[in-house]
Amino acid sequence: MSKKYFGTDGIRGRVGQYPITPDFMLKLGWAAGMAFRKLGACRVLVGKDTRISGYMFESALEAGLSAAGADVMLLGPMPTPAIAYLTRTFHAEAGIVISASHNPHHDNGIKFFSGQGTKLPDEIELMIEELMDQPMTVAESGNLGKVSRINDAAGRYIEFCKSSVPTSTDFAGLKLVVDCAHGATYKVAPNVFRELGAQVTAISVQPDGLNINENCGSTHMEALQAAVLLGHADMGIAFDGDGDRVLMVDHTGAIVDGDELLFIIARDLKERGRLEGGVVGTLMSNLGLELALRDLDIPFSRAKVGDRYVIADMAERGWPLGGENSGHIVCSQHTTTGDAIIAALQVLLALKRRGETLAQARHGLRKCPQILINVRFDGGQDPVSHPSVEQACQRVTDAMGGRGRVLLRKSGTEPLVRVMVEGDEEAQVRRYAEELAGVVEEVCA
């Protein structure tokens, strides 16, 4: 069955526009509470990022969950992976994250975690959607859910992150700049690295509800690049608004993306005999990553874009590592979902073991030129399957003669068609990408 509300990463949209409205969230909280109660006594953890609308939606979800008889435990602003972890440790039936990840403040959304800290199974999402179409009821007064707040959530998560590295780990002498995107990592991330001995300069750690992801974080790296160069830091670490994506900057100011970070972690695991199986990337992963891993005899698989699909492929194959070039990196030896802080720690460990700088380590992977152009798509006929678009894609594919690839896909989180072309020569790749984007724009007009 197709889903009415849930996309590849929960429910997301513009605040005030259906379904990202208080009345919808009230009903969603009730429907989720009713669904989770079918599993038995029900406790649900609720966390959020720092955007201003989080207060409104937290209250609405809390009321709906309580009306369904579900107990609610509020975490306040916490990274998405922290909520996955705490849902497991508190033995709750589910966790809810109020966040639109890397989007600006005027967007928001809802993500769910199961009691195991994983994405909700499709059958539970479908159950919630079916309940959304039923009249809302209220439990008997004595059966209403109770609400409490977990005051030590940040400390618990900081200790969990630190437990992902050996207890002897000491990053003394390492000079870091950490960009928290005015988002959910603004309290915990700098403390994790400081408590492990690093010298940390924290930027974008003054959230005001409106500045999340604004010219900062993993989607806007310029401020971090400047801060690394100005402070003569060893590297910079950039998180997105909800803390499940990480990108880095080396000491020269060059951006190190998710493909390169994934390579550095995979190579380290391989060298230590800790990589059982291979690495899962996505359709957007750079061809250079696949070739570099092949040189190390590390198997590589491409899943559909989205951490849900990466995690599913990892579970199916029994592989411990996967991720996306956007910076979603999943280290399943340590946690159940993409965790930006834990991924960053694994990179720092790999560099320390090899005695390399980030700039040196990234040179083990030669990336193929890859051009991505986003084209706005506001509904109507699917442009990806339009005959003129398909013909243009085939024409470009043929012209590259097996030395490149073309990928067009609709975004799962934004109203965009992503046009990607990859090949040997950057000017040629850019020309082909612009040509295809022009065809898509004509179809979308």
Average pLDDT over residues 206-217: 98
Q: Are residues 46 and 118 in the same domain?
A: yes
Whether the per-residue pLDDT at 19 is higher than 90: the answer is: yes
Q: Are residues 428 and 395 in the same domain?
A: yes
Residue 289 lies in a domain: yes
The confidence score (pLDDT) of residue 146 equals: 97
Q: Please, which pLDDT band fits residue 414 given cuts at 50, 70 and 90?
A: confident
At residue 247, the 3 state secondary structure works out as strand
Residue 111 lies in a domain: yes
Catalytic residue among 101, 114, 164, 326: 101
* Average pLDDT score, the chain: 95
Q: Are residues 35 and 19 in the same domain?
A: yes
With tokens 């310029």, the residue in question is 222
Q: How many CB atoms lie within 10 A of CB 237?
A: 32
Q: Are residues 292 and 165 in the same domain?
A: yes
Determine what percent of the chain is predicted with pLDDT higher than 90. 87
Whether the per-residue pLDDT at 1 is higher than 70: the answer is: no
Average pLDDT over residues 252-280: 97
Query: What CATH code is carried by the domain that includes residue 307?
Result: 3.40.120.10
Q: Are residues 247 and 189 in the same domain?
A: yes
Residue 285 is a catalytic residue: no
Asked if residues 294 and 300 have their Cβ atoms less than 8 Å apart, the reply is yes
Taking alpha carbons only, the member of 300, 190, 198, 306 closest to residue 244 is 306
Strand partners, 109: 12
Q: Are residues 214 and 297 in the same domain?
A: yes
Q: Are residues 311 and 390 in the same domain?
A: no
Q: Are residues 166 and 135 in the same domain?
A: no
Whether the per-residue pLDDT at 269 is higher than 80: the answer is: yes
**DSSP string spanning 251-264?**
TTS-EE-HHHHHHH
- Which of 3-7, 97-101, 199-203, 325-329 is predicted with the least confidence, judged by mean pLDDT? 3-7
Whether the per-residue pLDDT at 381 is higher than 80: the answer is: no
Domain housing 95: 11-151
DSSP state of 90: T
Does a cis peptide bond (omega within 30 degrees of 0) precede residue 121? no
Q: Please, which pLDDT band fits residue 8 given cuts at 50, 70 and 90?
A: confident
Query: What CATH code is carried by the domain that includes residue 417?
Result: 3.30.310.50
Q: Are residues 96 and 184 in the same domain?
A: no
Helix (H) or strand (E) holding 282: strand 279-282
With tokens 């991720």, the residue in question is 323
The confidence score (pLDDT) of residue 198 equals: 98
284 half-sphere exposure, CB direction, 13 A CA radius: 25
Domain boundary among 362, 378, 406: 362
Residue 30 lies in a domain: yes
Residue 394 lies in a domain: yes
Q: Are residues 346 and 200 in the same domain?
A: yes
Q: Which two tokens stand for residue 109?
A: 């959304």
Q: Are residues 249 and 235 in the same domain?
A: yes
Domain boundary among 106, 131, 151: 151
Average pLDDT over residues 353-362: 97
**How far, in Å, CA of 42 to CA of 93, rounded?**
6
Number of domains in the chain: 3
Residue 147 lies in a domain: yes
Domain boundary among 134, 151, 168: 151
Q: Are residues 195 and 312 in the same domain?
A: yes
**How far, in Å, CA of 437 to CA of 418, rounded?**
9
Residue 2 lies in a domain: no
Residue 4 lies in a domain: no
DSSP state of 99: -
The confidence score (pLDDT) of residue 131 equals: 96
Q: Please, which pLDDT band fits residue 356 given cuts at 50, 70 and 90?
A: very high
Residue 5 lies in a domain: no
Question: Tell me, what amino acid is at 83?
Answer: I
Question: Which phi and psi angles does 318 have, rounded to 5°?
Answer: 70, 30
Asked if residues 95 and 86 have their Cβ atoms less than 8 Å apart, the reply is yes
Whether the per-residue pLDDT at 159 is higher than 70: the answer is: yes
Average pLDDT over residues 133-143: 96
Whether the per-residue pLDDT at 217 is higher than 90: the answer is: yes
Whether the per-residue pLDDT at 104 is higher than 80: the answer is: yes
